[in-house]
Amino acid sequence: MRLLSFIFIFLFLCKQASAQRNRFPELRDTAKKSEFFWFPLIIYAPETRLAFGLGEAFTFKTSRKDSLTRPSKITGTQLYTLNKQLLANLLSDIYTNGNKYHIVSYVSFQRFPNRFYGIGNNTDKTYEKYDAMFVDFKNTFERRFTKNFFAGITQNYRYCDIISYLSYGEFARKSIPGENGGHISGFGLNASFDNRDNVFYPSKGNYFKFTWMLYDKAFGSNYSFRNYTLDLRKFISVYKENILALQLYAEHGNGTIPFHMLSLMGGPQLMRGFFQGRFRDKNVVAFQAEARIPVWKRFSLAVFGSVGEVSPSINQFALNKIKLTGGAGIRMRLLKTQKVNIRLDAGFGKDSYGIYLDFSEAF
């Protein structure tokens, strides 16, 4: 039923894209025009029953005179379900004139039932349900120091309210950090190298980013811990518009980390095919590759595969514990002057699968 619902949404959007031709004039691909696109969402999932709402995407350039200024975008999603649950988020990714500053802001509110499979790389497929509310505020400010090198500061705040969980499950039987909710607040430093030819849908170039975060009671956090993230991506133009995208992602944490802030595998970005949080621990290493193949006009296909695992410490990673996922998907270009796609992916892992609908690439 879930798969059919997502297919319905994608086909509906295809029809919407055709109808949009009269709304927007035909523009040359100069990447200097601003564009706005919105679409209705109708989703069914066992956890939420029927959900409906809106999605929006707005792209623009802060300087139309400077051809080297990268495009900026603002995207949003609002969903309401028949279980009286709400999901709303707003993401802004802004490059100022001449790419001197790069500012990313993310605001999210969600009240959804979720699944907890336990902590570690060897958890089985049984899980317990819990209900929680999350409010997130994330901001990154970077300054460009050389042509492709940026560095700056990052702020992250999360409020978590664990509304309910099973009276006989792991939360009740064990002392799990974060089971009572609370405030998570931290600041950090980040540095990135980015020479991709397109920030939305790159066909060549590299993106390397390192982030160090400190969460501490001095910042109003109920938990004190550190987190290090390394994100390495490479994009290769194989033949004409066929692209090979590669990513190596690693995350390390130490201290008392709430379960909902642990490194996760699964979901729409990393190790598609596993439920998001199917495996979680203080450390994660994952590698994924994706072939992106143009098919017809605005449509393209993607085939992807991933390997990875989580671990309580760096020296406990083992080759015989690696998890595998793979799958394929469809892309449809939403805007005429910017390569912003909506994607529908089907991912598969051991005893697991996932269907993902998003209007940004996985990486």
Query: pLDDT tens for residues 67-97?
Result: 789 999 999 989 888 877 888 999 999 999 9
For strand 205-215 and strand 299-311, is the pairing parallel, antiparallel, or unpaired?
unpaired
Q: Is the pLDDT of residue 220 over 90?
A: yes
pTM above 0.95, yes or no: no
Q: What is the pLDDT of residue 47?
A: 52
Averaged pLDDT, 302-318:
95
What are residue 81's phi and psi, to 5 degrees?
Answer: -115, 165
Q: Distance between CA atoms of 249 and 287, rounded to whole angstroms? A: 6
- How far does the chain reach from its first CA to its final CA, in angstroms? 28
Q: Which residues contact 335 (CB under 8 A, 6 or more apart)?
A: 35, 37, 57, 59
What are the φ/ψ torsions at residue 307 (nearest 5 degrees)? -135, 145
* C-alpha span between 352 and 274 (Å, rounded): 6
DSSP bridge pairs for 102: 95, 142
Residues in the chain: 363
At residue 202's C-alpha, the angle toward residues 94 and 196, to 5°, is 70
**How far is residue 359's CA from residue 171's CA, in Å, rounded to a whole number?**
35
H-type helices in the chain, by residue range?
Answer: 2-19, 170-173
Query: Mean pLDDT of all residues in the chain?
Result: 86
- Spatial CB neighbours of 22, under 8 Å, sequence gap ≥ 6: none
At 262, the pLDDT band (50, 70, 90 cuts) reads very high
User: What CATH number matches the domain at 2-358, 3.90.1150.10, 3.90.870.10, 3.40.30.10, 2.40.160.50?
Assistant: 2.40.160.50
Question: Distance of CA 239 to CAs 150, 204, 294, Å?
Answer: 30, 11, 11
191-214 pLDDT per residue, tens: 999 999 999 899 999 999 999 999
With a CB cutoff of 8 Å and minimum separation 6, the contacts of 196 are: 202, 204, 205, 206, 207, 235
Rounded distance between C-alpha atoms, residue 14 and residue 302, angstroms: 17
Better pLDDT: 325 or 351: 325
pLDDT for 16 beyond 60: no
